[in-house]
Amino acid sequence: MKKLDYKGYYFIAPFFLVFAIFSIYPILLTFYYTFTRYEGYGEPVFIGLENYARILTDTYFLEAFINTWKIWGFNFALQLGIALLLAALFSDLRFKVKGLGFFRAIFYLPNLITISSVAILFSIMLDWQYGSINQFLMKLGIINDPINWLNSPFTAQVSVSLILTWMWFGYTFIVLMAGVSGISKEYYEAALIDGANRWQTFIYITLPLLKPIMLYVLITSLIGGLQLFDLPMLLTDGLGSPEGSLNTMVLYLYNQAFKYNNYGYAATIAYALFLITVVFSVIIFKSMYRDVKLSKKRGNM
Amino acid sequence: MKKKNRFSKPIIYILLILLAIISFIPFYMMIVNATRDNKDILMGFTFVPGSSLIDNYKTMMEYVNIWNGFKNSLIVSISVTVLSGYFSALTAFGFAVYNFKGKNILFLFMLLMMMVPGQLGLIGFYELNKVLGTLDSFIPLIVPSIASPFVVFFLRQYLSSTMHPALLEAARIDGASEFKIFHSIALPIMMPAVATMSIFTFIGSWNNYIVPLVVLFSPEKYTLPVLMGFLKGSQVAQNLGSLYLGIAISVVPIMIAFLFFSKYIISSISAGSVKE
Q: For B171-217, what is each residue's pLDDT tens digit?
A: 999 998 999 999 999 999 999 999 988 988 998 899 899 999 999 99
pLDDT, tens digit (0-9, with 9 covering 90-100), for A2-53? 567 889 999 999 999 999 999 999 999 999 999 999 998 889 999 999 999 9
pLDDT digits (tens, 9 = 90+) for B81-119: 999 999 999 999 999 999 999 999 999 999 988 888 888
pLDDT given for residue A291 in this prediction: 64
Contact B274 A6 (CB under 8 A): no
pLDDT confidence of residue A292 = 60
Alpha helices in chain B (DSSP H): 2-34, 38-43, 53-63, 66-97, 103-114, 122-132, 139-142, 149-162, 165-173, 178-181, 187-207, 210-215, 224-233, 240-273
Cα nearest neighbour of B145 on chain A: A18
- The confidence score (pLDDT) of residue A88 equals 87
CB of B22 less than 8 A from some CB of A: yes
A250 touches chain B (CB under 8 A): yes
Distance between A27 CA and the closest CA of chain B, angstroms: 4
Q: Side chain identity at B221, as an amino acid letter?
A: K
Give B228: exposed, middle or buried? Use CB within 10 Å, 0-12, 13-18, 19+: buried
Residue B47 confidence class, pLDDT cut points 50, 70, 90: confident
| pLDDT at residue A300 in the model | 44
B-facing residues of A in 45-74 (CB < 8 A) are none
What's the sign of the alpha-carbon dihedral B227, B232, B237, B243? positive
CATH number listed for the domain at residues B36-41+48-271: 1.10.3720.10
Taking 50 as the threshold, does the pLDDT of residue B3 lie above it?
Answer: no
Per-residue pLDDT tens over the stretch B130-172: 999 999 999 999 999 999 999 999 999 999 888 888 888 899 9
For the whole model, what pTM was predicted?
Answer: 0.91
Inter-chain touch B147–A12, beta carbons under 8 Å: no
pLDDT at B2 over 50: no
- CB of B224 within 8 Å of a chain A CB? The answer is yes
Q: What is the mean pLDDT of chain A?
A: 90
Partners of B144 on chain A (C-beta within 8 Å) are 18, 22-23
**pLDDT confidence of residue A293:** 63
B19-31: average pLDDT: 93
Q: Which residues of chain B neighbour A257 with C-beta distances below 8 Å?
A: 122-123, 126
* A170 and B22 Cβ atoms separated by less than 8 Å: no
pLDDT at B90: 97
Distance from the Cα of residue B11 to its chain's centroid: 36
Cα-flanking dihedrals φ and ψ of residue B248, to 5°?
-60, -40
pLDDT of B6: 55
Give A44's DSSP letter: P
Closest CA to B37 of B234, B252, B229, B244: B244
Domain ranges of chain B: 36-41+48-271
Residue A299 has pLDDT above 80, yes or no: no
Residue numbers in B near A274 (CB within 8 A): 116-117, 120
Chain A to chain B, count of Cβ pairs less than 8 Å apart?
279
The pLDDT-based confidence of A109 (bands split at 50, 70, 90) is very high
Tell me which of A174-188, A195-209, A223-237, A286-300 is least confident.
A286-300
B115 chain-A contacts, CB cut-off 8 A: 278, 281
Please tell me if residue B261 touches chain A, with a CB cutoff of 8 Å: no
Confidence of residue B274 (pLDDT cuts 50, 70, 90): low
Q: What is the pLDDT of residues B241-267, one digit of tens each?
A: 999 999 999 888 888 888 888 888 888
Domain A60-300 CATH class label: mainly alpha
The stretch A151-178 carries a mean pLDDT of 95
| Sequence ranges of the domains in chain A | 60-300
Shortest CA distance to A272 belongs to which of A32, A31, A23, A29?
A: A31
Q: Using one digit for the tens of pLDDT, what is the confidence trace for B221-233?
A: 999 999 999 988 8
| pLDDT (tens digit per residue) in A60-97 | 999 999 999 999 999 999 999 999 999 988 887 677 78
